[in-house]
Amino acid sequence: MNLPESTEMYLKTILNLEKRNSNVRAIDIARELQFSRPTVSQQVKNLSSHGFIELNDKKHIQLTAKGRQVAEVTNRFHDGLIEFFTELGVSEETAQEDACRIEHYISQETFDRMQDFLKNCKRHLEERRT
């Protein structure tokens, strides 16, 4: 996506917090990421100025369509990487940690080929079972 890792991380966190509680505040992000409130407040201003989020009059944070798209792609990469790694036999914990790092740097092309490879392996295993 060619966005800074921190941008993707914040947007993904906001999306995940939204799923748990529709009203996301800067303090919720700070707690989730274990960052200081001033650090989060600065990033919230940055995300807002780039059109990724909006703040309502109660200071609740909402993803814009642009921000939601980035967050959803980052989540899809994250989940797909975990699935790929665990199918390789990597422990869930290590797969989670590695996915969190790699999701920000992997290209769409590489990710797509990994997913194709995984689907082909699963299909081949199913064919052998029948």
pLDDT, tens digit (0-9, with 9 covering 90-100), for 65-98: 999 999 999 999 999 999 999 999 999 999 999 9
One-letter amino acid identity for 130? T
- Look at domain 74-129 and name its CATH class: mainly alpha
- 5-69 fold: Arc Repressor Mutant, subunit A (1.10.10)
Any idea where the domains of the chain sit in the sequence?
A: 5-69, 74-129
18 contacts 63 by C-beta, under 8 angstroms:
yes
- Tokens standing for residue 56: 């309502």
Q: How far apart are CA 40 and CA 48, in angstroms?
A: 12
pLDDT in tens, 21-57: 889 999 999 999 999 999 999 999 999 999 999 999 8
